[in-house]
Structure 1
Amino acid sequence: MKEKLMIVSLGLLPLIMVLGNSMLIPLLPSIQKSLHLSGVQTSLILSVFSIPAALCIPAVGILSDRYGRKKLIMYSLIVMIIGSFIAASSASFSSGSFAVLMAGRVIQGIGAAGTTTLAMALTGDVFIGEKRAKVLGLLEVYNGAGKVVAPIIGATAALVVWYAAFFVYPLAAGAALVGIVMYVREGKTGSESVSVQEYLKRAIGIVYDKRKWLFPLFFVGGLGLFLLFGILYYLSFLIEETYHIDGFF
Structure 2
Amino acid sequence: MKSSLTESWRRRLTLFAMCMATFMTSLDLTIVNVALPSMQSELHMSAAELEWVISAYSLSLAAIIPASGALGDRYGRRRVFLSGMVVFVIGVIACAVAWNAASLVAFRAVQGVGGAAMLALGLSILTETYPQERRAGAIGAWAAIGGTGFGAGPVGGGILLTFFGWPSVFWINLPFAALGIVCTVVAVRESRNPQARRLDVAGMSLSSLGLVCLTFGFVESSDRPWGAPLVAVPLAAGAALLLAFFWWERRAPHAMLPPALLRARSFVSASGIYMLAYGGMSGALFWVTLYFQNVAGWSVLRTGLSWLFMNIPFLTMAQFGGRLDSRFRASAVATWGILVAAVGVLLLGAAGTTSFAVSALGYVLYGGGFGTFVPAVTHVAMRDVPPGVSGAASGVLNASRQIGSSVCLAVLGTVGVNATVSAWRDKVSELDGTRRAAALAQSHHVGGGRVYTVVQELGSSLRRPAVDAFLHGYQLAVGIAAACTAVAAVLAWTGFRQRSARPRAAERPASPAQAREATVTGDGPGRRSQ
Whether these two folds match at TM > 0.5 is: yes
Map of 2:136 onto structure 1 = 133
Unaligned regions of 5+ residues in structure 1, if any? none
Letter in structure 2 aligned against 1:200 = A
Contact 2:30 2:154 in 1 (8 A): yes
Unaligned regions of 5+ residues in structure 2, if any? 1-8, 201-251, 304-530
Map of 1:33 onto structure 2 = 41
Q: Which of 260, 269, 284 is 1:228 aligned to?
A: 284
Contact 1:21 1:46 in 2 (8 A): yes
- Higher relative contact order structure (alpha carbons within 8 Å, sequence separation ≥ 6): 1
Kindly state the Cα deviation for residue 217 of structure 1 after the two structures are TM-superposed: 2.9
SS of residue paired to 2:190: coil
Runs of 4+ in 1 over 6 A off after TM superposition: none
Map of 2:300 onto structure 1 = 246
Map of 1:6 onto structure 2 = 14
> Which shows bigger deviation, 120-129 or 225-234?
225-234
Kindly state the Cα deviation for residue 200 of structure 1 after the two structures are TM-superposed: 1.0
Q: Which of 142, 164, 167 is 1:160 aligned to?
A: 164
Q: Which of 83, 108, 131 is 1:75 aligned to?
A: 83
Contact 1:156 1:248 in 2 (8 A): no
Map of 1:119 onto structure 2 = 122
Map of 1:194 onto structure 2 = 197
Contact 1:17 1:112 in 2 (8 A): yes
Instruction: Say yes or no: does 1:143 pair with 2:146.
Output: yes
> Which shows bigger deviation, 52-61 or 194-203?
194-203
- Using structure 1 for the length normalisation, give the TM-score: 0.85
Kindly state the Cα deviation for residue 184 of structure 1 after the two structures are TM-superposed: 1.7
Map of 2:492 onto structure 1 = none
Rounded to whole Å, the distance in 1 between the matches of 2:302 and 2:293 is 14
Instruction: Say yes or no: does 1:178 pair with 2:232.
Output: no
Kindly state the Cα deviation for residue 46 of structure 1 after the two structures are TM-superposed: 0.6
Rounded to whole Å, the distance in 1 between the matches of 2:127 and 2:253 is 22
Kindly state the Cα deviation for residue 3 of structure 1 after the two structures are TM-superposed: 3.0
Kindly state the Cα deviation for residue 114 of structure 1 after the two structures are TM-superposed: 1.2
Tell me: CA distance 1:88–1:208, structure 2 relative to 1, closer, same or farther (3 Å). Answer: same
Kindly state the Cα deviation for residue 203 of structure 1 after the two structures are TM-superposed: 3.1
* Aligned pairs for 1:19-30 within 5 A: 19-30=27-38
Kindly state the Cα deviation for residue 82 of structure 1 after the two structures are TM-superposed: 0.7
Rounded to whole Å, the distance in 2 between the matches of 1:160 and 1:169 is 15
- Using structure 2 for the length normalisation, give the TM-score: 0.42
Tell me: CA distance 1:203–1:235, structure 2 relative to 1, closer, same or farther (3 Å). Answer: farther
Instruction: Say yes or no: does 1:48 pair with 2:56.
Output: yes
Map of 1:64 onto structure 2 = 72
Rounded to whole Å, the distance in 2 between the matches of 1:152 and 1:144 is 13
Rounded to whole Å, the distance in 2 between the matches of 1:7 and 1:174 is 15
Rounded to whole Å, the distance in 2 between the matches of 1:149 and 1:73 is 23
Please give the per-residue CA displacement for 1:99-125, whole angstroms capped at 9, x wherever unaligned. 110111000000010122311001111
Tell me: CA distance 1:207–1:236, structure 2 relative to 1, closer, same or farther (3 Å). Answer: farther
Rounded to whole Å, the distance in 2 between the matches of 1:212 and 1:121 is 17
Instruction: Say yes or no: does 1:203 pair with 2:258.
Output: yes
Letter in structure 1 aligned against 2:17 = S
Contact 2:34 2:154 in 1 (8 A): yes
Letter in structure 2 aligned against 1:223 = G
Letter in structure 1 aligned against 2:168 = A
Of the two, which has the highest radius of gyration?
Answer: 2
Rounded to whole Å, the distance in 2 between the matches of 1:157 and 1:202 is 41
Please give the per-residue CA displacement for 1:69-127, whole angstroms capped at 9, x wherever unaligned. 1111110011011111111111xx3xxx1111011100000001012231100111122
Contact 2:262 2:268 in 1 (8 A): no
SS of residue paired to 1:200: coil
Rounded to whole Å, the distance in 2 between the matches of 1:209 and 1:184 is 28
